[in-house]
Amino acid sequence: LSETWMRLDNLRGVAAQWSSAGLGLSYEHTVLHTGFYDGLTEGHLSRIGDAILYAKLGYTALDLADSELYSFTLQGDPAMQLFQAEYRLMLPIIARR
């Protein structure tokens, strides 16, 4: 399925995909997916390969089955930069006189 998405044209396809190549437990998949997004947001990582490594290192710290580390594969360039919007919060000071 992931190869099909990779082969579609620019308007319908994907630039990269990181997913399990087999079956696994939902909890283990959630740990990896959460670690990936934590790497992007909390770890301030911008390359997809760095976020995947961050997720896998967090996964190994939990002493779960190693099989998921090998079944999750990236189709795409690990050096690809992911867009991260810069949010700025401005809270004006309102003073009473």
Mean pLDDT of the chain: 86
Q: According to the model, what pLDDT value does residue 1 have?
A: 65
- Residue ranges per domain, the chain? 2-75
Closest alpha carbon to 38 in 61, 53, 14, 55: 55
Q: Could you count the other beta carbons within 10 Å of the beta carbon of residue 82?
A: 13
Q: How many residues in the chain?
A: 97
* Segment 22-65, tens digit of pLDDT: 888 888 999 999 999 999 988 889 999 999 999 999 999 998 98
Q: According to the model, what pLDDT value does residue 87 have?
A: 74
| 82 against 32, higher pLDDT | 32
Q: According to the model, what pLDDT value does residue 97 have?
A: 65
